[in-house]
Amino acid sequence: MSDSPAIEVRDLVRVFESRKGFLFNEVNRTQALKGVDLTVEPGEIFGLLGPNGAGKTTLVKILSTLLLPTSGTARVLGHDVARDADWLRPRIGLVLGGERGVYTRISGRENLRYFADLYGVPPGEREPRIQAVLERVDLASAADRRVEEYSRGMKQKLHIARGILHRPSILFLDEPTIGLDPKSARETRKLVRSLEGDGVTILLTTHYMFEAEELCPRLAVLSKGRIVANDTVDALRHRVGGDRTIEVEAYGFEDREHAALRALPGVSKVASEEFGPRVRLTLRIRTLETTPAHVAALLPGHPELSVRERRTSLEDVYLDLVEEEAT
């Protein structure tokens, strides 16, 4: 395995320009990426999270040589994505979520034959390799059916089969389980984990926090074109205030009660949300000193008080980081 990063991005900027006005002489510039820095090591599954419009797909398209950066550098497998695109493309796999990217009027096998020729798979290896990837994604029994007859989950499996057909060194998965039913999504995640055993580097973008936590030892959060966090899930939990979360619900809380909760040992944050007539306070806690019993003891005037403890989830971390960036 190479000592150099599989992906190395430095101060990456991408600006989109559009024209408007009667003579199209007004130029509107949108900065999708604003100085992104990112490193992904060989052989890892790295997660990229962010809200819609954060720049995730733009970054993936630049790394997969589909877009040029406006400025900055992006290197994949040690090669510049702008200067060395011809060298990189045979070594990159790209899987986009959704229905596009395969031909529905022909069979799954015929799709893979077409893409095998595009990828330059040697003729003598084409049929054995197609059969191998069909079996790997569990489509062998449906290989000779038209793709228009496939379910959405089967189409996504075919996308992945196409992405790994030429045995890429790096695979970009952009929202690979979007719109899939739970069973198909689980099968897709299982397939992604199996690719890690082949030594393939995977960059995964997703909206599903549990998916990122299950698959990605390290991840980055992209918000408004910037990387706002980049670490392991446990380290990110610590950054937003701790591994423990205590939630308290009642019909409203007084300011003095808010202040008393904030003063408890290890409490790093108290957030408030309204759910109809009830209010939920969420406490992020760094230590073991404060327990649900300590919290309840400070709120004796609430007969229908609800207090529960849980582990801080990746969704909590993500929402805290994006909220922090917005303020």
| CB atoms closer than 10 angstroms to residue 118 | 13
Phi–psi pair at 83, nearest 5 degrees: -80, -30
Distance, CA of 56 to chain centre: 8
| CB atoms closer than 10 angstroms to residue 90 | 14
The amino acid sitting at 42 is P
List pLDDT tens digits, range 259-303: 999 999 999 989 999 998 999 999 999 989 999 999 999 999 898
Sign of the C-alpha dihedral, residues 17, 222, 318, 6?
Answer: positive
d(CA 93, CA 81): 14
Choice among 46-60, 86-100, 243-257 with the minimum mean pLDDT: 86-100
pTM: 0.84
Longest dimension (CA), the chain: 78
Classify residue 141 as exposed, middle or buried by CB count within 10 Å of its CB (0-12, 13-18, 19+).
Answer: exposed
Domains and CATH numbers, the chain: 7-236 (3.40.50.300), 241-311 (3.30.70.2730)
d(CA 269, CA 286): 10
List pLDDT tens digits, range 110-124: 999 999 999 889 999
Task: Determine the length of the chain.
Answer: 327
Span 210-233, average pLDDT? 92
Does residue 24 surpass a pLDDT of 80? no
